[in-house]
Amino acid sequence: MTIPTDDIFFSKTEEGKPDVEFLKDHFYREGRIKEEHALYIIDKATQLLRAEPNVLTVDNPVTSAPAIPSLFVCFLIGSYSLR
């Protein structure tokens, strides 16, 4: 499995947005992406969460044990979106 190029990573119909259907399939098959694409997703997610009025801001240090596999499953079924 190859690491996707920009042409594959970004949607052909929604300019500047990742191809969510491609990413679902790619991650389901345990594919990897370029570091710049991962940072793009993290940046967009950060922007969305900062704009969300019901997200708490807490002081450091914080210990968290997120259920990453559960979040991935939610992403695959469409509960989370990169849009």
- Asked if residue 69 has a cis previous peptide bond (ω within 30° of 0), the answer is no
Is the model's pLDDT at 32 over the cut of 70?
A: yes
For 41-55, how does the pLDDT look when each residue is reduced to its tens digit (9 = 90+)?
Answer: 999 888 988 888 887
Split into its structural domains, the chain has a count of 1
Residue 61 lies inside a defined structural domain of this protein: no
Residue 64 lies inside a defined structural domain of this protein: no
Is the model's pLDDT at 38 over the cut of 80?
A: yes
Domain that holds residue 40: 1-50+70-83
Residue type, 4: P
The mean per-residue pLDDT over the stretch 1-30 comes to 92
Residue 77 lies inside a defined structural domain of this protein: yes
> Which of 14-18, 46-50, 65-69: highest mean pLDDT?
14-18
Note the pTM of the prediction, 2 decimals: 0.63
* CA dist., res. 80 & res. 3, Å (int): 23
Residue 55 lies inside a defined structural domain of this protein: no
